[in-house]
């Protein structure tokens, strides 16, 4: 027969079972500390974890005083205590009664130090390669999760500043986050004047992807300056070391990326005032010319400017007309030339054999009857032309004389 528990009864039963198991009492557990919180009450809370699993731990105030060292995230420790169930949340936890430092740092921290050392050796953290941020970026690239609060924070700060904002979406925690972030940074190649790589606060595990080598290299190879803003002020990742500028939070990153728009507007008004004042004091210095300047010079100047512009416009119009006309005449001339040459080409061969073409303004001379004595005939020869006066016209066919 199936028994139906209330949740309270169920947790009560689990609690009884676990807490009465002698194997879950007075035990040692080995792991790495993360999410360490030193509560105001004096109790300390943390997660003990290894590569594949984790468990919540509590160290009550009266046990804590005997520790003899400060607990820190990343420490490898041995925890002595009992398994207990926190009934309101049905949570299994380890009630620590003693903690001992395990030798060395946690595995991941060792790994982190190795990556850091390698990248530092290659010069990725070099101060000499840090680039300055543009003062007035026109394209701002943001690498972050489209769903995250970090993006909203950044957008709120950028606010009315006139720039194109290019979001390069990335998965910022969990499996594949490292590749996703690196890819998103590379996708902004050539597309941004400044890049903000950001993520809101989270546990050390959540932020871990920003410690990866491929993210570091993507930031290093980014063609525009990169501002990193990962987690809160106290979270420092390798990404922060490689970035050109590290911001404590996404909000701060946005403030660094864009100028203060109110300050800018104030500056513009001040510039106008300064110019007017400078101009005025210039006028004061030349008081004798003041009347002239105020009454006539400025008006005259405006008038001159206008008339000059009008003239220039006329001139341009004319030039435009001329240019078109010129083109037309040129075409015509070339056409005539071509026609003349075409005509010459035909009979040229004949002419070069000693023949001539006789021509009158009214047409070609083909027979003696086409001309009258005294008329001037144009003779076109193989080379050049001559004008000849007709002495006699004999329409009979050629006879021997």
Partner 1 sequence: MSEKEMGLEEALDDLERIVEELEDGKKSLEESLDLYEKGTKLVRLCQARLESAEQRIESLTGELPPDLD
Q: Which residues bind partner 1 (CB under 8 A)?
A: 134-136, 138, 146-147, 151, 155, 158-169, 184, 187-188, 191, 261, 264-265, 268, 271-272, 274-276, 278-279, 281-283, 285-286, 289, 293, 297-298, 301
- In whole angstroms, how far apart are CA 134 and each of 13, 125, 127, 259, 260? 63, 20, 17, 10, 13
Comparing CA positions, the residue from 390, 396, 351 lying closest to residue 372 is 390
Nearest to partner 1 of 138, 352 (CB atom): 138
Shortest distance (Å) from residue 182 CB to partner 1: 14
Least separation in angstroms between CB 172 and partner 1: 14
CB 82 within 8 A of CB 60: no
**86 or 161: whose CB is closer to partner 1?**
161
Distance CA 357, CA 388 (A): 12
Q: Give the nearer residue to partner 1 in terms of CB position, either 96 or 172.
A: 172
State the nearest-atom distance from the C-beta of 286 to partner 1, in Å: 6
Report the nearest approach of partner 1 to the CB of residue 149 (Å).
12
Comparing CB distances to partner 1, the nearer of 60 and 297 is: 297
Which C-beta is closer to partner 1: that of 57 or that of 254? Answer: 254
SS3 string, 290-344, reads HHHHHHHHHHHHHHHHHHHHHHHHHHHHHHHHHHHHHHHHHHHHHHHHHHHHHHH
Distance in Å, CB of 163 to partner 1, minimum: 8
Helices 213-221 and 177-187 cross at an angle (nearest 10°) of 10
- CB half-sphere exposure, 74, CA atoms < 13 A: 11
Q: Toward partner 1, which CB reaches closer, 27 or 276?
A: 276
Residue appearing with tokens 């970090």: 150
How far apart are alpha carbons 58 and 45 in whole angstroms? 5
Structure tokens at 80: 């002595």
To the nearest whole angstrom, how small is the minimum distance from the Cβ of residue 136 to partner 1? 4
Q: Torsions phi, psi of 32, nearest 5?
A: -110, 140
The smaller minimum CB distance to partner 1, of residues 162 and 363, is found at: 162
In 201-260, alpha helices (H): 204-207, 213-221, 238-242, 250-257
Q: How far apart (Å, rounded) are the C-alpha atoms in residues 389 and 381?
A: 16
CB of 294 to partner 1, least distance (A): 11
Q: Who contacts 5 (Cβ-Cβ below 8 Å, separation ≥6)?
A: 13
Q: Closer to partner 1 at the Cβ: 144 or 211?
A: 144
Q: Please, what is the minimum distance in Å from the beta carbon of residue 64 to partner 1?
A: 44
Task: From 257, 206, 215, select the one nearest 240 (Cα to Cα).
Answer: 215
Residue whose pair of structure tokens reads 């101060």 in the numeric block: 127
Nearer to partner 1, 77 or 194 (CB): 194
* Minimum separation from the CB atom of position 195 to partner 1 (A): 12
């Amino acid at each position: 027969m199936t028994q139906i528990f209330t949740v309270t009864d169920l947790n009560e039963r689990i609690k009884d079972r676990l807490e009465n198991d002698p194997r879950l009492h007075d035990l040692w557990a080995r792991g790495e500390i993360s999410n360490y919180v030193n509560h105001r009450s004096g109790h300390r809370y943390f997660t003990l974890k290894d590569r594949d699993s984790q468990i919540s731990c509590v160290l009550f105030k009266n046990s804590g005083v005997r520790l003899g060292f400060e607990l820190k995230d990343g420490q490898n420790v041995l925890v002595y205590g009992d398994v207990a169930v926190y009934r309101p949340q049905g949570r299994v936890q380890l009630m620590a009664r003693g903690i001992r430092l395990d030798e060395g740092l946690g595995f991941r921290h060792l790994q982190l130090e190795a990556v850091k050392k390698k990248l530092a050796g290659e010069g990725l953290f070099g101060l000499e390669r840090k680039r300055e941020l543009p003062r007035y970026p026109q394209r701002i690239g943001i690498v972050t999760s489209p769903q995250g609060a970090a993006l909203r924070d950044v957008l709120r700060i950028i606010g009315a500043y006139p720039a194109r904002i290019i979001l390069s979406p990335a998965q910022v925690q969990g499996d594949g986050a490292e590749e996703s972030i690196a890819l998103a940074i590379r996708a902004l190649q050539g597309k941004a004047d400044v890049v903000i790589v950001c993520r809101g606060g989270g546990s050390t595990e959540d932020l871990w992807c920003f410690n990866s080598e491929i993210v570091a290299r993507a930031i290093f190879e980014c063609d525009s300056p990169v501002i990193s803003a990962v987690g809160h002020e106290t979270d420092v990742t390798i990404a922060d070391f490689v970035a050109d500028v590290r911001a404590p939070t996404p909000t701060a990153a946005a403030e660094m990326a864009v100028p203060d728009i109110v300050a800018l507007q104030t500056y513009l008004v001040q510039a106008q005032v300064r110019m007017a004042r400078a101009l005025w004091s210039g006028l004061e210095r030349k008081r004798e010319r003041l009347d002239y300047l105020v009454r006539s010079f400025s008006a005259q100047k405006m008038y001159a400017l206008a008339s000059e512009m009008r003239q220039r416009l006329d001139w341009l119009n004319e030039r435009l007309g001329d240019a078109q006309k010129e083109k037309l005449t040129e075409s015509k001339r070339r056409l005539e030339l071509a026609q003349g040459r075409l005509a010459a080409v035909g009979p040229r061969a004949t002419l070069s054999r000693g023949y001539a073409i006789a021509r009158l303004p009214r047409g070609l001379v083909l027979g003696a009857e086409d001309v009258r004595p005294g008329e001037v005939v144009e003779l076109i020869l193989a080379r050049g032309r001559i004008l000849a006066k007709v002495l006699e016209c004999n329409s009979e066919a050629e006879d021997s004389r």
